[in-house]
Amino acid sequence: MNVLRLLTVVSALAAAVALASTGEAQERMKHSGTIVAIDDAAGTIRLAEIGPWKIRHGKTLITYRTIIVTPRTELAIVGREYATPGGGPGEFIEGALPPDGLYVDDYVTVDCVHEGAKQIALKITVTEVWEPEP
């Protein structure tokens, strides 16, 4: 009887630990900011993110994040289109971006999975300002 109770407690603890570690490994967040560096060899981008808005000594605090870009990371570009198929001026449309389509100074939103200190990009969306056609 004591052995059965002990096995039940051990099983419950093992399940709790497994759920806790799975939840931590799957934390998903979005980060927006400007790309300040791209390291193709390491497969990373460096993002300068402002927010939540904080000021220290009269200066805005910037959070720098190194984000891993994998071959499975989806790349997209979104912008305002002035001549849309629906006819509505100023609609936002999203299109695919080629693997070499990221540049320093691009403003992006990155959908990430956080695995401990690692931040792995699932999708990177570049926000582009498209000028209206004359």
Lowest-confidence pick of 24-28, 55-59, 111-115: 24-28
Give the DSSP per-residue string, 36-77: EEEETTTTEEEEEE--S--EETTEE--EEEEEEEEEEEEEEE
> What's residue 69's pLDDT?
97
Over the chain, what is the mean pLDDT? 79
Residue 118's identity, in one-letter code, is: K
Confidence of residue 134 (pLDDT cuts 50, 70, 90): low
Rounded to a whole number, what is the distance in angstroms from the first to the last CA of the chain? Answer: 84
Of the candidates 31, 58, 44, the residue with the CA atom closest to the CA atom of residue 114: 31
In tens, the pLDDT along 34-90 reads: 999 999 999 999 999 987 778 888 888 999 999 999 999 999 999 877 666 666 666
Q: CA of 99: how far to CAs of 75, 76, 77, 80, in Å?
A: 7, 10, 12, 22
| Backbone phi, psi, residue 6, to 5° | -60, -45
Residue 3 has pLDDT above 70, yes or no: no
Domains, the chain, ordered by start:
28-128 (2.40.50.320)
> What's residue 81's pLDDT?
72
| Backbone phi, psi, residue 40, to 5° | -65, -35
> What's residue 1's pLDDT?
42
